[in-house]
Structure 1
Amino acid sequence: MSKLIYDPYLFQQIFQTLDREKIPYVIAHGYDHFPEEITSDVDVIVTPEGLYRLPEILSSLGLTQWIQHEATAHFFILTASPQNGKIPFLQFDVSSDFRRDGLILLTAEEFFSGRKRFKDAFWVPSADVEFAYYLSKKIGKQILTQEHAARLKRLFHKAPEQCVAWIERFFPLEWRDVIILASSSGNWSGLDLSVVKEEMIGYLSSKEKWRTRQYRWFEQTRRLKRVIKPTGLFVQVIGLDGSGKTTLIQKLAEDLRGLFRKTACFHFRPEVIWRSRISSNEDIQNPHGKECRSVVPSVFKVFALTGDWIAGYWSKIYLSKVQSTFVLYDRSFVDLLVDPKRYRYGGPMGLARWLARFIPKPDLFLFLDLPAEVAHARKPEIPLEEARILRQRYLELARALPNAYVLDASLSPADVADAAEEVIISFLKERTARRLGLT
């Protein structure tokens, strides 16, 4: 279970602040049980001016992640200080209009027309505007369940004339009666949503061709920005055998998955040039069980590892970061610099250190440090004296790396995870503030 938990208090803080700052907004849909029950991201519409001011306002409320996923749509994630082993957070999807395939289906002004207070706590759109938004969104995604159909039916019967007007705006003449019947009855079973979407987009596109071309230009610009400044995170976890690297990686992937689109975990190298023939279990159970290779094979191997890391970083890791993925590595090339015997490297260490300079570095190194005696007790395969030497090398490496954090691995796994998560969340907050020009 994720350590991140949707927080009603954080929800209330955000919308009280928007009201206080006089920024018009509506929660577009799914608000019936807010703020007591929040199970996913909150879809919000604000004015273009409000969207411009929003990052500065949210920065004081724990702004942690920012992902622009369309020209006028921004995904904000906020976190608060941990409470009772949980991290309060909120996913906040904010737009200044509603678009689908480059077409502006509803403007902010249309969302605000007839808006009303809900539970005297926040603003929601009128029934017909919510109907228009919900209908076009579900058809655009080609997902319309019985629950969705029932909600559309309820909204339709609250304002039937206005809902019919929206249907006439979105669909060609020959489809209007079909959509009106489905919306009013709640029965969509006979309709192919892919065809319905094609008809809707085709009809709207024929009226606003210039907007579609403009949208494509903005989309290319947005995607280029995401490539230059990816919103994912690349973390390498290093340390002695027995320090709890695997346990920590599993906890981080589970606890913080709500801060990213995806999560990916790997061991040692990307494996894009060749696949490893040695299982990770064999590597852990007997890390120093084989003799080092001679110089020539070692040199060949270290060049191959360097090539695999460089190629793998750009084709696998960086691409994952662009896709907002949390990438976690158990060990990496730097482990070879500390413990060449584990990788049977018998070549010159100067060469390995020189090649390491060409390998792109992660956003964060997390070094799990614990006394050699404790590590040896947990994993006795490595002699105690060797464990002491390796620990000292890891500490020297951590001091030399500007983005390395040393964590006390002698603590409980939960406490180690807490410390690591604090480092990661702080890094994300600082990066987001810097990219938004807030620092």
Structure 2
Amino acid sequence: MRTMKIVHQEKSSALADGVDQSGGPGRILLGVFETLDRAEIPYCVLHGYERYPQRITSDVDCMISASVHPEQLAALFHENRGISIDADLVCFREYYFVFAGRNADRSPSYLVLDLSIDYELGGLRFYTGREVIEGRRRHSCFWTPAPPVEFGGYLARKIAKVQLTDAQGRRLSALYAQDPAGCQRQAARFWGARNTALIVSAASSGDWTPVRRCLSRLGAEMRLRAMLRQPWRSIGNWSLRMGRRIRSGFWPEGGLTVIFLGTDGAGKSSVIKSVRQDLAGAFARTTCRYFAPGLLSLLRRPAGPILPHAALPRSRMTSVIRACYWLVYYLLWYRLMIHFALARSTLVLHDRHFVDALVDSKRYRYVGPAWLLRLIWRFTPKPDLVILLDAPPGVVHARKQDVSFEETARQREAYLSLIDTMKDAHVVDAAQPLEHVVSDVNDIILRHLTMRMARRLGLEHNMVYRAQPGGAFTTEKSL
């Protein structure tokens, strides 16, 4: 197999005019293309590139040479972070890559690169990667398919989705005008003479209304012809997809669990809300979890918000029984719930978690033995990250007076002591303005994703993080 060239040098002048030089997905994308070109890895952007790199609104779909494995590409992208690529690789699954960079205002920006080695829809192959790449042409700073191949692939994709808008029809007609004979051959590849004539008429006239009326019929014929060409491949692709789903269910890789700790008034809810929005681009989905629900919480209407320590404590016996319920909940149901969330590449953020009971058992009306809580914590699935939002008691108490100043100070010291015993725990200054706190938390999570990716690739020894003003971090190549 050909060895890839990993080039470490200053960024070239290949960045197109009009791209924001301070960041953004367009700048990341051009860096990725530059890296692939310098490594002499052939690729081809399949569609939707007309406004690249100035405007990227969805995943970037590309064809890539089958001779390059996903791990090789991931290592290449990781090695070129901060060199030709202004972003870190934070996630990859097979040929699916997620990059995270920074905009000028320090907010995260993302690029999702969806690579494939064949042009497939629904497990059916319509073009081989060789067909697409061999006929590619240069378009500005990157490579695109030949007009007939792009016409055939784009039309097949729209019909498979049973969706063909006016703008998409205009794009198809523009491609047809560049090579009518070639586009006719591509249509005849997927449909019989009657439907081919229908499509050719629509492409040449620009009126796609007759095609829209029979999208389902066209899709059925297209899939049948593709399946008959390679029946065993269709079965094999289905088996591979099922195998990947089963594997991800047993060995989740893309998700992340983060527990936020802090006294009342530290700003956990506000920070979590902003972090969910900022980091949504790095994950398939996000969710927020709280403390274990009560046994009867689903059977009765909540009484409404009350002060944390206003309710009377339970008896010692009731506290022990409730602790046993917490043990079962976190040992079984919570473990299963988190496992499947991670398998679906979910960012799981905890506003309240069982670990809070170790510091503030009075909030949960618990008066049982402290060793029982520590025992439950020992068996509770551990998070990937723990983030303590810390601020002086005076600052916190000025924001919220649900508990006394003395209790706020006690909880703060208890949280700081607890953090010292935890793995992958971080303290963030919550006395800063909210946007600075959110930025610091985003940096911690994205840095963790990058380090996890480096460990997966066996490249963690190359990771060096340099602190920036305001608590941010950038990654560099160690020398």
Using structure 2 for the length normalisation, give the TM-score: 0.83
Structure 1 residue 424: deviation in Å?
Answer: 0.4
Structure 1 residue 366: deviation in Å?
Answer: 1.1
CA distance in structure 2 between the aligned counterparts of 1:11 and 1:156, rounded to whole angstroms: 28
Match of 1:48 among 57, 66, 79: 66
Deviations 1:69-127 (A, max 9, x none): xxxx62212223563333343222111221122222112211123321112x1111111
CA distance in structure 1 between the aligned counterparts of 2:186 and 2:75, rounded to whole angstroms: 35
- Distance change in 2, residues 1:369/1:124 (3 Å): same
Question: What corresponds to 2:177 in structure 1?
Answer: 157
CA distance in structure 2 between the aligned counterparts of 1:362 and 1:183, rounded to whole angstroms: 55
Structure 1 residue 352: deviation in Å?
Answer: 1.7
SS where residue 112 of structure 2 aligns?
strand
Deviations 1:302-344 (A, max 9, x none): 2223333344434433222222222212010111111110011
- Distance change in 2, residues 1:186/1:434 (3 Å): farther
Contact 1:152/1:186, CA 8 A, preserved across alignment? no
SS where residue 376 of structure 1 aligns?
helix
Letter matched to residue 161 of structure 1: A
* Higher relative contact order, chain-length normalized (CA < 8 Å, sep 6+): 1
Matched, 1:21 2:43: no
SS where residue 304 of structure 1 aligns?
helix
Letter matched to residue 199 of structure 1: E
- Distance change in 2, residues 1:176/1:122 (3 Å): same
Structure 1 residue 200: deviation in Å?
Answer: 1.6
Structure 1 residue 277: deviation in Å?
Answer: 5.4
Question: What corresponds to 2:12 in structure 1?
Answer: none
Contact 1:113/1:126, CA 8 A, preserved across alignment? no
CA distance in structure 1 between the aligned counterparts of 2:174 and 2:235, rounded to whole angstroms: 36
Question: What corresponds to 1:128 in structure 2?
Answer: 148
Moved more, 165-174 or 130-139: 165-174
Match of 2:88 among 44, 47, 63: 63
Moved more, 165-174 or 357-366: 165-174
Letter matched to residue 55 of structure 1: A
**What does residue range 234-253 of structure 1 map to in structure 2 within 5 Å?**
234-253=257-276
- Distance change in 2, residues 1:223/1:355 (3 Å): same
Matched, 1:305 2:326: yes
Matched, 1:385 2:402: no
- Distance change in 2, residues 1:34/1:377 (3 Å): same
Deviations 1:19-60 (A, max 9, x none): 111111111111112222222222211101234432122102
Matched, 1:12 2:30: yes
Question: What corresponds to 1:193 in structure 2?
Answer: 215
Question: What corresponds to 2:13 in structure 1?
Answer: none
CA distance in structure 2 between the aligned counterparts of 1:288 and 1:419, rounded to whole angstroms: 31
Match of 1:355 among 370, 373, 376: 376
Deviations 1:188-220 (A, max 9, x none): 464343443232222211221110121123223
SS where residue 50 of structure 1 aligns?
coil
Deviations 1:213-248 (A, max 9, x none): 211232233223322033122212111000000010
Structure 1 residue 6: deviation in Å?
Answer: 3.1
Matched, 1:265 2:294: no
Letter matched to residue 31 of structure 2: Q
Contact 2:100/2:282, CA 8 A, preserved across alignment? no
CA distance in structure 1 between the aligned counterparts of 2:193 and 2:138, rounded to whole angstroms: 35
Match of 1:230 among 253, 258, 266: 253
Question: What corresponds to 1:100 in structure 2?
Answer: 121
- Distance change in 2, residues 1:186/1:427 (3 Å): farther
Contact 1:272/1:311, CA 8 A, preserved across alignment? no
SS where residue 158 of structure 2 aligns?
helix
Structure 1 residue 421: deviation in Å?
Answer: 0.6
Contact 1:63/1:432, CA 8 A, preserved across alignment? no
Moved more, 306-315 or 18-27: 306-315
CA distance in structure 1 between the aligned counterparts of 2:294 and 2:160, rounded to whole angstroms: 38
Letter matched to residue 64 of structure 1: L
- Distance change in 2, residues 1:171/1:50 (3 Å): same
Deviations 1:244-289 (A, max 9, x none): 000100110111111112222233237899538575961xx50000
Structure 1 residue 413: deviation in Å?
Answer: 0.8
**What does residue range 32-431 of structure 1 map to in structure 2 within 5 Å?**
32-52=50-70, 53-59=72-78, 60-61=80-81, 62-68=87-93, 74-81=95-102, 83-119=104-140, 121-172=141-192, 175-184=195-204, 185-188=206-209, 190-227=212-249, 228-269=251-292, 275=298, 282=305, 285-431=306-452
Using structure 1 for the length normalisation, give the TM-score: 0.90
CA distance in structure 1 between the aligned counterparts of 2:23 and 2:373, rounded to whole angstroms: 44
Structure 1 residue 136: deviation in Å?
Answer: 1.6
Deviations 1:160-213 (A, max 9, x none): 222222222223555433343444444146434344323222221122111012
Moved more, 23-32 or 53-62: 53-62
Contact 2:159/2:219, CA 8 A, preserved across alignment? yes
CA distance in structure 2 between the aligned counterparts of 1:256 and 1:240, rounded to whole angstroms: 24
CA distance in structure 1 between the aligned counterparts of 2:107 and 2:396, rounded to whole angstroms: 29
Contact 1:51/1:95, CA 8 A, preserved across alignment? no
Contact 1:241/1:375, CA 8 A, preserved across alignment? yes
Fraction of identical pairs, as percent: 34
Letter matched to residue 33 of structure 1: R
- Distance change in 2, residues 1:193/1:400 (3 Å): farther
- Distance change in 2, residues 1:377/1:277 (3 Å): farther
CA distance in structure 1 between the aligned counterparts of 2:294 and 2:225, rounded to whole angstroms: 47
SS where residue 95 of structure 2 aligns?
strand
Give the CA RMSD over aligned residues: 2.5
- Distance change in 2, residues 1:414/1:224 (3 Å): same
Contact 1:296/1:347, CA 8 A, preserved across alignment? yes
CA distance in structure 2 between the aligned counterparts of 1:77 and 1:138, rounded to whole angstroms: 25
- Distance change in 2, residues 1:312/1:437 (3 Å): same
Letter matched to residue 39 of structure 1: T
SS where residue 400 of structure 1 aligns?
coil
- Distance change in 2, residues 1:368/1:126 (3 Å): same
